[in-house]
Amino acid sequence: MRQNLLFPFSIGVSDGIITALILASGGIVSMGITPFLALKISFGSAFAGMFSFFIADYAGLNEELHRTARQLNLRSTRYLLRGRLGRDILLEAFIGTLISSFFGFTGALIPLMSSMLVPHNIYIPLLISYAALGLVGYFISRTTAGSWRFWIFIMIAIGIIVTIAGSYLKLIS
């Protein structure tokens, strides 16, 4: 197993924050988020992200196994999937899914709970959300040897775009 924890962490946190912002920007702006609503949105974000992450991660790991089998000139990867490697990639996808779901729930709580802690200031929850996305961008840049400025900018820009879209959609207001 590759034991890469940054991938499920970054997917979970960023998906949680972005989902919460698209759904609840109208509520954050109008200061209409209750603790029960925050938990419902966070759970929904984590639950939906859980399936998406598992399917994408398991399919990616499965593709790596198929590519390796082709490079080794194996006729079929079926016996690899039925053996220890198959169990390992299933376990790795499952563990990544748990990590991603936990951080998706936690990530969604960042803008929602901060809007309740500072109820009469809409800017603080948004700034906290953008700072968290920027921090995820920084961690991504460190592991990909990319430009930290670029990754922080991209993550914050995505947060701002999603907030604007969520404010206009007013899914929860």
Give residue 29's pLDDT band: very low, low, confident or very high (50, 70, 90). low
**Amino acid (1-letter code) at residue 148:** W
CB 104 within 8 A of CB 111: no
Comparing CA positions, the residue from 16, 21, 3, 31 lying closest to residue 126 is: 21
Assess whether pLDDT exceeds 80 at residue 67: yes
User: What was the pLDDT predicted at 2?
Assistant: 47
Helix-then-strand count for the chain, H and E? 6, 0
User: What was the pLDDT predicted at 1?
Assistant: 41
Cα–Cα distance, 49 to 17 (Å, whole number): 12
CB 81 within 8 A of CB 53: no
User: What was the pLDDT predicted at 24?
Assistant: 85
